[in-house]
Amino acid sequence: MFRLPLHWQIIIGLILGLAYGITSAAMGWGQFTSDWIVPFGDIFLNLLKLIAVPLVLGSLITGVASLSDMHKLSRIGGKTITIYIATTAVSVTIGLILVNILQPGANVPQELQQELQAAYQAETENRQSTADAVKERGPLQVFVDMVPGNIFAAAGNNSNMLQVVFFSILFGIAMIMIPKEKAQPLLGFFEGLTEAIIKIVEIIMLAAPIGVFALIAKTINQVAKDDLSAVVELLSALGFYCLVVVLGLLLHAVITYPLLLKSFTKLPLVKFFKDIAPAQLLAFSSSSSGATLPVTMDVCENRIGVSDEVSSFVLPLGATINMDGTALYQAVAAVFIAQALGIGLDVTAQLQIILTAVLASIGTAAVPGAGIIMLVIILETVGVPTAGIALILGVDRILDMCRTAVNVTGDTTVATAVAASEGQLHSPFEEA
Ligand code: ASP
């Protein structure tokens, strides 16, 4: 029986969700949509979040425990982190160059600024206080946060993924060090757990078109709140800014990633992007690279041919620390706000933005809307009033969708490159 490829099914779900969402906002069906459509999106997203922690635990422990030597682990780890940081720095630079050349903030009318600041005052204060809590931490706090005091508490919260990654690596290393006959039953257990979870991912993905439809309808419902004209107005006022962010993201996706893939692999680019499309589309619809992780791992292992060993290490780490899209957006947003408020940023300030955006993106949680909280910290570093985020809050959700899709693309690209460099990319193109 003919079945439409998964990415087409999801694209259709996405387009229909978009059409439905716009109709619903135009016709004032907001209540009906939240009662009868939104729950399907929530169920779908919860199912994905449900398996994220056991998947990371199972696959990472199995991945590390089946490595026979520690050298390999540190080699793969070093390579992964270096490429992650390098690609993020490139993406911030692309964003900075564009925003400085195109100057989207240069002509934002005074009245519009006042209007936006009044409209988003409460939300701005909210983000600011969350950012204040983040800021009061010392320079080594990132490392403290990585080490959980209680593994069950860590596994009880999806935003503690890095702690789960830490525990799994430690546990895997310990399994290499204990006698084989003791480690074997544990290894069998975790292998079985991982297999079962991957089967669950396949089952959940059967519902992806419906899930994506509902998620998109939900987003439009939240943003438009039965008043479509307000969104259109906001988009036309901030359209140029959005365009610069989207252009930067696109350039990064069609130049940096293909260059990286070409230098490490023989994979045809079209095939690569087709294979990862379900993960990109899901990231776009959910605005969460954490929730997309099970699908990211699935496409990398089963479509692209990245070995379990590499994907189970590189991808959970990437979902938590590698956010090229977020970093690019943060750089553009920071300079846009400075331009709109008439504040000049010299070369030192721009270099500071590169550094803080790379660090802030590492510290950004893989959940919707996290990027704008860390943006507050960047603004403070370069001396731009943080109340300025009111200017961009209205369109943030839309940009969140785009940057999350790029974040996930970055993770899959690096996983593929690292796998190829280790001779662990099992693809007919690579072996040809
Ligand atoms: N939503 C993004 C992610 O999950 C983070 C952000 O807000 O930029 O990757």
* Ligand 1 atom having least distance to the Cα of 370: 7
Best substitution site from 323, 372, 408 to test ligand 1's pocket, by max atoms within 8 Å of Cβ?
A: 323
CA 27 to centroid of ligand 1, rounded, Å: 31
Mean pLDDT of 269-298: 95
Question: CA 393 to CA 387: how far, in whole Å?
Answer: 11
* Ligand 1 atom having least distance to the Cα of 329: 8
> pLDDT of 46-74, one tens digit each?
998 899 899 889 988 988 887 767 788 88
Burial classification of residue 235, based on how many CB atoms lie within 10 Å of its CB (0-12 exposed, 13-18 middle, 19 or more buried): middle
Question: CA 248 to CA 256: how far, in whole Å?
Answer: 11
Would you place residue 354 in the very low, low, confident or very high pLDDT band (cuts 50, 70, 90)? very high
Domains of the chain in sequence order: 6-431 (1.10.3860.10)
Best substitution site from 404, 406, 408, 411 to test ligand 1's pocket, by max atoms within 8 Å of Cβ?
A: 404
CA 384 to centroid of ligand 1, rounded, Å: 22
pLDDT of residue 432: 65
Could you give the dihedral angle defined by the CA atoms of residues 235, 247, 329 and 264, in that order, rounded to the nearest 10 degrees? 150
pLDDT of 311 strictly over 80: yes
Would you place residue 1 in the very low, low, confident or very high pLDDT band (cuts 50, 70, 90)? low
Which of 202, 204, 212, 203 lies closest to 10 in space, CA to CA? 212
CA 218 to centroid of ligand 1, rounded, Å: 17
Q: Which of 112-116, 243-247, 278-282, 347-351 has the lowest mean pLDDT?
A: 112-116
* Ligand 1 atom having least distance to the Cα of 403: 8
CB 105 within 8 A of CB 336: yes
Question: CA 353 to CA 336: how far, in whole Å?
Answer: 12
Tokens of 327: 């970093």
Nearest residue (CA) to ligand 1, atom 2: 404
CA 373 to centroid of ligand 1, rounded, Å: 10
> pLDDT of 33-49, one tens digit each?
999 999 999 999 899 88
Best substitution site from 317, 403, 408, 409 to test ligand 1's pocket, by max atoms within 8 Å of Cβ?
A: 403
CA 326 to centroid of ligand 1, rounded, Å: 6
Q: Which of 133-147, 179-193, 232-246, 304-318 has the lowest mean pLDDT?
A: 133-147
Would you place residue 181 in the very low, low, confident or very high pLDDT band (cuts 50, 70, 90)? very high
CA 178 to centroid of ligand 1, rounded, Å: 39
pLDDT of 258 strictly over 80: yes
* Ligand 1 atom having least distance to the Cα of 326: 8
CB 371 within 8 A of CB 400: yes
Residues with CB under 6 A from ligand 1: 287-289, 323, 326, 364, 366-371, 400, 403-404, 407
More confident residue, 13 or 125: 13
> pLDDT of 76-108, one tens digit each?
999 999 999 999 999 999 999 999 999 998 877
Whole-prediction pTM = 0.90
CB 296 within 8 A of CB 138: no
CB 35 within 8 A of CB 43: no
Which of 70, 52, 81, 80 lies closest to 310 in space, CA to CA? 80
* Ligand 1 atom having least distance to the Cα of 404: 9
CA 346 to centroid of ligand 1, rounded, Å: 28
What is the DSSP secondary structure assignment for residue 387, as one 8-state letter? G
CA 245 to centroid of ligand 1, rounded, Å: 14
Mean pLDDT of 360-381: 87
CA 187 to centroid of ligand 1, rounded, Å: 33
